[in-house]
Amino acid sequence: MEEKKVKILEELKKTFPDKIKEASAPFGDETIVIDRDFLVILVDFLRKKPHSYTMLLDLTCIDYMDRKPRFEIVFHLFSLSNNHRLRLKVPLPDEDPWIDSLTFIWKNANWLEREVFDMFGVEFRGHPDLRRIFMYDGFIGYPLRKDYPLRKRQPRIRLRK
């Protein structure tokens, strides 16, 4: 199994030398850092054989408030046939937090992307139904951003009759 881990990182660095910003395996977890414009191309490459990363396990966002770029979208992929996990990280700037949607590849990306949009304000371009999933429509701000005020009061909404 350890040989497979080294093999995928080395292959990706060799195949896309100018697109892979960083490739590491901290604590045995293979991690690739890429730019947002390369996401769809890389995911398409990884889904095909022999890699077969056909499952999106999770998608989330991290807010590094005091760092540039501020946000980082993290994708956890899994290859059933190879029994192997791979983590993709995509840094996003605070001024323009958007990334391409992967709903056309994985159906479960729909709800995961909506959650990140609702909690962090990251736009997923090409998403079929990008709207709030946890917060109500009149909610102002993004509650999981680190600069969101702890005791912020929201506008009241009328109850439905």
pLDDT by residue (tens digit) across 130-158? 999 999 888 999 999 999 998 888 877 77
pLDDT number for residue 6: 56
Could you tell me what percent of the chain has a pLDDT over 70?
Answer: 96
Flag whether 143 is in a domain.
no
Pairing of strands 98-100, 123-125: parallel
Give the total number of structural domains in the chain. 1
Q: Does residue 59 contact residue 76 with C-beta atoms inside 8 Å? A: yes
Q: Report which of residues 122 and 150 the model is more confident about.
A: 122
Q: Is residue 148 part of a domain?
A: no
CA nearest to 46, candidates 56, 36, 38, 54: 54
Do the domain assignments include residue 156? Answer: no
Q: Is residue 111 part of a domain?
A: no
* Bigger pLDDT: 161 vs 144: 144
Nearby residues of 52 by Cβ (< 8 Å), 6 or more positions away: 79, 80, 81, 82
The answer as to whether 47 is a domain residue is yes
Residue 83 to residue 96: CA distance in whole angstroms: 36
CB 109 within 8 A of CB 59: yes
Residue-averaged pLDDT of the chain: 93
Domain-located, residue 72: yes
Domain assignment present for 125:
no
First vs last Cα of the chain: how many Å apart? 59
Q: Is the pLDDT of residue 70 over 80?
A: yes
Domain interval for residue 82: 2-101
Specify the CATH number for the domain of residue 80: 3.30.460.80
Q: What is the pLDDT of residues 83-96, one digit of tens each?
A: 999 999 999 999 99
Inside any domain, residue 115 = no
Distance CA 52, CA 46 (A): 6
